[in-house]
Amino acid sequence: MSDKQQISHRRRQLITGGAALAVTGLGASLAKPVSAACVPAEEIKFDEVVDIIVVGSGFAGMSAALQAREAGASVMVVDKMPVFGGNSTINGGAMAVAGSPLQQQNGIEDSVDTMVADMLEAGRGMNDVEMLKLVCHGTAESCQWLTDYGVKWKPFVQHFGGHSLPRILQTVESSGAGIIRPLVKAAKKRGIDMRTQTKLESFIKDDQGRVTGIEVKANYFFPKERSGVTRRYGARKGVIMATGGFGRDIEYRKMQQPKLTKELDSTNHPGANADALKQMMLIGANPIHLDQIQLGPWASPDEKGFGTASQFNTIATYPRGIVVDARTGKRFFNELADRKARADAIMTRRDAQGQPVYPIGFTNAEGASKAQTLDWGLKYNVIKKADTLEELAEIYAIPADALKAQVESWNKAVDTGEDSEFGRPMQKAMKLEQGPWYAVRMWPKVHYCMGGVKVNTRSEVLHLVSYKPIAGLYAAGEATGGIHGASRLGACAVAEGVVTGRNAGQMCASSKSIMLKQV
């Protein structure tokens, strides 16, 4: 079972909650957060002290921890949830890699510049180009780094929406668990102190404004806010925030995007909220792009969370099938556009009362041959099978003649190599000629927060007013903002999390240590 700190009842109870939260003089005069005055460093005594504390145990957190450990730092990873992995261990396990050996084997000529261009286009030009380049330059080497830690990839390169050519590698598990579990295992083996049920409450800073540690609730039982006991952990070199996004935080996401109400399910794990982001902002971190929140266009309303449809649609429907309006049987968007374009298009399918009319995505047995979740989707009645188009039309109440006409029209477009209606890239397009057919109802789910705190290329968190790094504070992964601009390309979160996590770990490990006192 999970590693847990044995609570020592003999230790005296410390002052609670925000009392330890310190702020810079500048922050105090401008923001007046709920906090005590600064506490001189020599007066703070920590329950435990390590070189580096990583908050969060997803791709970014585990990459940061292992990279720092490789550099010789002592590392503690804390996660408020009862299990490690956050959203990372439940995601699709797909990583965009420019220049992978598998691409070379398949004669695919890719480049960092091409990947940068694709991500800039998807991001509507809003991306932080310096951070974007850092990520794209790091994917090939980080892919090898993951392989060295035991990650196993499928033997083919995939083409996801918005990418101009195939560059996606995916774990054999079709899940981020195929990355997280080897990394967690390696971390324990290498002496990284891994702690679940340990929730960040606030930062501890010295009188110079440097982050010197965190106050936590140990033995915390999410989401029971009154559980746990207060502890203080010191970090000589720094704290790395790898706390992910806030897709499950309905109140906060609605604040940024009013249309993201509770009507929309999320693919995220239950703990994906804005708590950690707020703590960073309270000590002056600069937020960026918080209103850029991505919906996953491959999700189905017939199951919860990410489910089975997401992988089926990503692998089968979108690259090798079509999506039609259930009322007309007609296509209405480019199925290989990026996520924002696809999700926005799907969300337009509503009736006169504004209620969703779920579009139907489908392909045939050939198109679905690589869809690993097809059997599960069928078993749990999320994906449905039909032997003929007439039968398919009947299942979903689509006009049969219109559906057949659309399929014929699509097949002509494949023959000519041009989708004159929606401009879909046709390199991988497939004619839909015979059953059986596999189909699913589609509706987007809240998936990824492009926004977060501003970091520089050393993964240091930048202050809202001074634009300088907040000393001792680093961040990586979905907790940061700017890299993806207005829309993240599929499979780029794994790439970004691993590359920026390693960057944060390396930079933090190479920073100077400060002296901290322990109880």
Partner 1 sequence: MIKLKAVLALTLGCLLTLSAQAVEVRDHHKEVIGKDCKTCHDNGIKQFPSDQSCLQCHDADDLAEQTARSEEDKWQNPHNNLHYGKELPCQECHGEHQPKQPMCNNCHTFKFDKHKK
- Interface residue list for partner 1 (CB under 8 A): 1-2, 4, 7, 9, 82-85, 89-90, 173, 175, 177, 180-181, 196-197, 219, 221, 227, 269-270, 303-307, 375, 380, 382
Q: Which is nearer to partner 1, 310 or 500 (CB)?
A: 310
Q: Which is nearer to partner 1, 174 or 459 (CB)?
A: 174
How far, CA to CA in Å, does 131 sit from each of 94, 134, 135, 164, 477?
21, 5, 6, 21, 11
- Minimum gap (Å) between residue 304 Cβ and partner 1: 5
- Residue 69 annotated among the catalytic residues of the structure: no
- Minimum gap (Å) between residue 226 Cβ and partner 1: 10
Q: Are 457 and 381 in contact (CB under 8 A)?
A: no
Q: What is the DSSP letter of 315?
A: I
Burial class (CB in 10 A: 0-12, 13-18, 19+), 135: buried
Q: Which is nearer to partner 1, 448 or 474 (CB)?
A: 448
Instruction: Give the DSSP H or E segment for 195.
Output: strand 193-195
Q: Are 381 and 302 in contact (CB under 8 A)?
A: yes
> What is the rounded distance in angstroms from the CA atom of residue 389 to the CA atom of residue 242?
47
Q: Are 431 and 385 in contact (CB under 8 A)?
A: no
Q: What is the DSSP letter of 490?
A: T
- Minimum gap (Å) between residue 1 Cβ and partner 1: 5
* Nearest partner of 146 among 166, 170, 113, 116, judged by Cα: 170
Q: Are 62 and 243 in contact (CB under 8 A)?
A: no
Q: Which is nearer to partner 1, 185 or 259 (CB)?
A: 185
Q: 232, 253, 339, 502: which is the annotated catalytic residue?
A: 339
Q: Which is nearer to partner 1, 44 or 498 (CB)?
A: 498
- Minimum gap (Å) between residue 268 Cβ and partner 1: 10
Q: Are 365 and 429 in contact (CB under 8 A)?
A: no
Q: Are 347 and 338 in contact (CB under 8 A)?
A: no
Q: Are 238 and 96 in contact (CB under 8 A)?
A: no
Q: Which is nearer to partner 1, 156 or 380 (CB)?
A: 380
Q: Which tokens belong to 162?
A: 């918005």
Task: List, by residue number, the catalytic residues.
Answer: 339
